[in-house]
Amino acid sequence: MLKAQYDKRGPVPHEHIQAVPFEKPELDSGQVLVEVIASPINPSDVLTLTGEYGMLPPLPAVGGNEGVGRVAELGPDTKGPGVGQTVLLPVGIGTWASHVVADARKLVPLPNEADPRQLAMMTINPPTALLMLSEFVELNAGDWVIQNAANSGVGSYLIQLAKIKGYKTVNVVRRESAIEGVKALGGDVVLVDGPDLQKRVRAAVGDGQIRLAIDAVGGASTDHIGDCLAEGGTLVNYGMMSGQPCQVSPRNIVFRNVTVKGFWLAKWFENASQEQQMSVFGELTQLIATGKLQARIEAEYDVAQIKDAVAAAAAGERDGKILIVPRHG
């Protein structure tokens, strides 16, 4: 059994994390031993390793915040998903491991016949995309949404979800090589970022009004998509991929009455009811299990290769997600 553990944080995300062997744990009543099938590396995981994320676990810690596993063993007098059942792992339990011990009550059974690698990416990016499309502006079929970082994990889910709901998307990327991949996902308009973005967007959408802009980049890119909003529109920020604070000009927030808001999924979970959470995951599970919602996978690594996996996830110009897929047997 292996787990990817780190006892320090630093500017190089893969420097302090390493694969550490551990013995099979003794299970208490109510606990379940789960064999991890797959767990993604998200941007928030990389920022957690560098110490730049908004919520940091105490050290030493095991990396990984989401994933899917298969029940291997139940503790004494434990009721829960049976041995062999595919389950969604609880958020934040350290999923970059060959096995994890979890509270049986917190395991969510998933369809055994669905692709576990796609299900493994369900907890963070898909609900982020879904909620940003629904929590801030009431959209109707045919309405336009603009986003940057459109080739990111959240961006790809947002394109697919918007298409399912009948919305049109303007998708902004930072390099020409990303355009074709975003178009293949169903992006209606795909453009490279730049100071003249508003002019090019207006030419593409014609008389269409854009009331929702979604920003993951920060810096001047925030203002670029803010310029594309209709008067009184809403700009939602959920990331800072440029490493720079959001820039929004007085032209937008004062004279054009653009509202700027932030979104953090962890905060939404704090305030959402159990019913609201189950509604979101129920919708996403159905879409992923039926193949209507999926993400590209760049590469898969075993837990023993964790340093290489984190380095690959932190590098730019990827065209898909990096997954930890433990080798069993």
Give catalytic residues, as residue numbers: 53
Assign 3-class secondary structure to 254-312.
HHCCCEEEECCHHHHHHHCCHHHHHHHHHHHHHHHHCCCCCCCEEEEECHHHHHHHHHH
114 DSSP assignment: S
CA-nearest of 275, 286, 274 to 119 is 286
Q: Which of 237, 25, 53 is nearest to 224 (CA)?
A: 237
Residue carrying the six token digits 């690959």:
312
What three-state secondary structure class fits 165?
helix
What residue type is 309 in one-letter code? A
Residues β-bridged to residue 311: none
> Where does residue 103 rank: exposed (0-12), middle (13-18), buried (19+ CB within 10 A)?
middle
